[in-house]
Structure 1
Amino acid sequence: MVKSGVPTLLCTPLALHGAAIADLAAGHSLVAALRGAGIERLFIADWRSASADMRFLGIDEYLADLNVLVDCVGGLVDLIGLCQGGWLSLVYAGRFPAKVRKLVMAGAPVDIAARQSRLSAIAEATPLIMFQSLVNLGDGRVIGRNIAPFWGNDTDASDIRESLQLLEPIGSPEFTRLEAIFKSWSSWTIDVPGTYYLEVIEKLYKRNELAGGSFVALGQKIDLSRLRLPMYLLAGSADEVVAPEQLLAVERLVGTQPEYLRHEVAPCNHLGLFMGRRTLEQYWPRIVRWMKEVD
């Protein structure tokens, strides 16, 4: 086990569900997979559900919080960003490149124009005023249960079996046990500050600012072409939330030398990247081996 050196910070998504997406159950836990592959100094950003007094927090505030977390664990990290936590990690690395040694992104939307996904198609087709109405409905926050329908119904038994990559048949005792855990996780939604939510919709999904080079974070424009750190990208071939191309476009946007760029496309859907048994057993140990390599 790695007992010293650069710590790893796992940046979970600030969107709909909490950090348990990375630690669902035995055999379906990214945290356990990372620990089992040899990472001992592992920390996780668990974003709290937004209370009423958090309604005006925006992307900059969460980047600042992430910066405090990095400083608290030593000031230099290997950063793993999942889904919405992936683009946030990329922005953080672009803003504070000296604080990130290696960056891993899984199922993260970066270049929205590279190819549409179900989620980006909804964001494009929906007028901004409709998203604003969701914020107004929550008195300045987006209430998780109100946006859950945008993500679709993933609690059908066959969808759960696909996401968890289970061999056990539907209706078996083991499947029924894991199905109950999954449904409990899926029903536990978090609320998001309205300011943050609208900034993500407008800056990332509608204007594609991160890929276009106009994204401003903490007073500084993020120029991905100036980013040189090693990166590992993990996409899902059947990802319905983030098209693989939206993530893999990073390779042509950053200034990292090709020999320091890795990518894989796992045969799974979006949630399968983080909690699928096969993905956790086959793909994440390779990512950890890459993380432990000496530059």
Structure 2
Amino acid sequence: MTAPTDEHVDVPEAPGITDPDPTAVQTEAPATDPAAYLRGYHLTAAVRGATEMTKGAGYVLSRALRQTATPGRNSRDARRWWRLVLGRRRPRWHNEHEIVFETPIARLRDFSQGSTDDVAPTLVLPPQAGHDSCIVDFQPRQSQMMVIREAGLTRAFTLDWVGATRATSTSTIEDYVAVVDRAVEHCRSTTGHDAVNLVGDCQGGWLATIYAALHPEKVNTLTLAGAPIDFHAGETPIGASSRVMTQRFGQLPYRAMVAAGGGVMPGAFVLGGFIAIRPDAEIAKHVDLLRHLDDPEAIARYEAFEDWFKHTQDVAGTFYLWLVEHLFAGNELVAGTLEVGGRRVDMRDISCPLFLLGGATDHITPPVQVFAAADHVSTPADQVTRRTAPGGHLGLFMGNQALRHEWPPLMAAVAEHSRRG
């Protein structure tokens, strides 16, 4: 079983990273028997994994038997392939920006690049589920931050979540809301605008929603992409596994993982869960790498994605266990019973323009979980925009399809709400 979180690999631009079978994405209510759903899902995943293993073995054998492939060439290719598979580097940010402030749990990065445009500032809250926040600036020309700027939202900022340590393992939801508020206050003071455009990707989406409900006067627009707002809508392997475990064992399995990490949820555990969800994708991308050993561009794409995906960072244990109890299990955000810092989080306090983006084959956060936000806020219907991008989860944030065709019109619409007068 996988730990609850909100990322997975389905980025078409990386070799072997394919979107899940659309039949795996359900839009109806969760199954009454999540254990049966999981058995069926994992059986299908095992079959897909075995199929990819068979394809890979067949390709390796045919490659070895080709007349042009000498034993020496095969040996060199094998060594090179292993170096590429195992040789990971720390992922990095790519486009010009500066770090404005840094706390033990987050940094604020300013991508305004000297802009003084009179436009409401835009603050991105990236995913926070065991990977680096640089997903929002994945490549020089594959960057959510640059798409935001190109839409006219030139006063662009993003938080950058710092991996948890033992010193920060007890960070709470209140600590994360506080650091968002500090970032918002910086954006407001440096641009002279009273409110910011909040953009929340995945986990950053429910955090942005909580903040917007607590501080609606500081939020100009709210954009949510691949963000689980109604955690119980639709059926997903992560949702089903969390329901099974909490029904049978309460929080014991999650507490055990946090204890094993010395107070943090190890990013390596999260990564293992992602791979277990789609073992066929993990196998396919490495076989595809072997097919493209003579293609420098394909290798560069593979390395860029693997550097980001395999470089994990830990999540604060207290924060993680709160997430499991109150959101994954309790679904308290849409139930209207969530409390943060002694205050009830009421989504009806949100009335700003709302922009929602889901992935058609996203089986981590199906569109129904994102679009549910519109049913719980006070935003007028004519100020709610819904878009469905082809593809899966991570492709919403780093995929060329979404960055070229889905984000630009959304951000252009946000920009229309961001100029004075």
Both proteins in one fold, TM over 0.5: yes
- Equivalent residue number for residue 365 of structure 2: 242
For residues 227-264 of structure 1, give each alpha carbon's deviation from its aligned partner in whole angstroms, at most 9, with x where no partner exists: 21111000001112111111111111111110110011
Contact in 2 for aligned 1:119/1:242 (Cα 8 Å): no
Task: Give the letter for the 1:176 counterpart.
Answer: I
Aligned residue runs from structure 1 range 208-287, under 5 A: 208-287=331-410
- Equivalent residue number for residue 234 of structure 2: 115
For residues 183-230 of structure 1, give each alpha carbon's deviation from its aligned partner in whole angstroms, at most 9, with x where no partner exists: 011111111110000000110000100010001122211111232111
Output the CA distance in 1 between the equivalents of 2:219 and 2:283.
39
- Equivalent residue number for residue 51 of structure 1: 165
Contact in 1 for aligned 2:275/2:282 (Cα 8 Å): no
Contact in 2 for aligned 1:145/1:189 (Cα 8 Å): yes
Alpha-carbon offset, residue 52 of structure 1: 0.9
Unaligned segments of structure 2, at least 5 residues: 1-114, 189-193
2:126 to 2, 12, 31: 12
**How many pairs were matched up?**
289
Contact in 1 for aligned 2:213/2:348 (Cα 8 Å): no
Contact in 2 for aligned 1:123/1:205 (Cα 8 Å): yes
Q: Given the superposition, is the C-alpha separation of residues 243 and 294 from structure 1 closer, same or farther in structure 2, using an over 3 Å criterion?
A: closer
Output the CA distance in 1 between the equivalents of 2:243 and 2:301.
35
Output the CA distance in 1 between the equivalents of 2:252 and 2:282.
31
TM-score normalised per structure 2: 0.65
Output the CA distance in 2 between the equivalents of 1:61 and 1:148.
25
Alpha-carbon offset, residue 151 of structure 1: 1.9
Q: Given the superposition, is the C-alpha separation of residues 44 and 188 from structure 1 closer, same or farther in structure 2, using an over 3 Å criterion?
A: same
Output the CA distance in 2 between the equivalents of 1:35 and 1:226.
29
Alpha-carbon offset, residue 2 of structure 1: 7.9
Task: Give the letter for the 2:168 counterpart.
Answer: M
Higher CA-based Rg: 2
Contact in 2 for aligned 1:240/1:269 (Cα 8 Å): yes
- Equivalent residue number for residue 163 of structure 1: none
Query: RMSD between aligned alpha carbons?
Result: 2.1
Output the CA distance in 2 between the equivalents of 1:203 and 1:215.
7
- Equivalent residue number for residue 77 of structure 1: 196
Task: Give the letter for the 2:282 counterpart.
Answer: D
Aligned residue runs from structure 1 range 66-145, under 5 A: 66-74=180-188, 76-127=195-246, 128-145=251-268
Q: Secondary structure at the match of 2:217?
A: helix
- Equivalent residue number for residue 39 of structure 1: 153
Task: Give the letter for the 1:235 counterpart.
Answer: G
Q: Secondary structure at the match of 2:223?
A: strand
Contact in 2 for aligned 1:9/1:78 (Cα 8 Å): yes
For residues 159-203 of structure 1, give each alpha carbon's deviation from its aligned partner in whole angstroms, at most 9, with x where no partner exists: 69xxxxxxxx95532121111110011111111110000000110
Q: Does 1:192 align with 2:306?
A: no
Q: Which moved more, 1:148-157 or 1:73-82?
A: 148-157
Output the CA distance in 2 between the equivalents of 1:175 and 1:12.
26
Q: Secondary structure at the match of 2:161?
A: coil
For residues 12-41 of structure 1, give each alpha carbon's deviation from its aligned partner in whole angstroms, at most 9, with x where no partner exists: 122111111111113322112222222211
1:176 to 299, 302, 305: 299
Taking only the aligned residue pairs, the percentage that are identical comes to: 31
Contact in 1 for aligned 2:196/2:218 (Cα 8 Å): yes
For residues 131-184 of structure 1, give each alpha carbon's deviation from its aligned partner in whole angstroms, at most 9, with x where no partner exists: 000110011111111221122267637569xxxxxxxx9553212111111001
Q: Given the superposition, is the C-alpha separation of residues 157 and 266 from structure 1 closer, same or farther in structure 2, using an over 3 Å criterion?
A: farther
Contact in 2 for aligned 1:157/1:179 (Cα 8 Å): no
Task: Give the letter for the 2:243 counterpart.
Answer: E
Deviation >6 Å, runs of 4+: none
Contact in 1 for aligned 2:228/2:369 (Cα 8 Å): yes
Q: Which moved more, 1:150-159 or 1:44-53?
A: 150-159
- Equivalent residue number for residue 63 of structure 1: 177
Output the CA distance in 2 between the equivalents of 1:170 and 1:29.
25
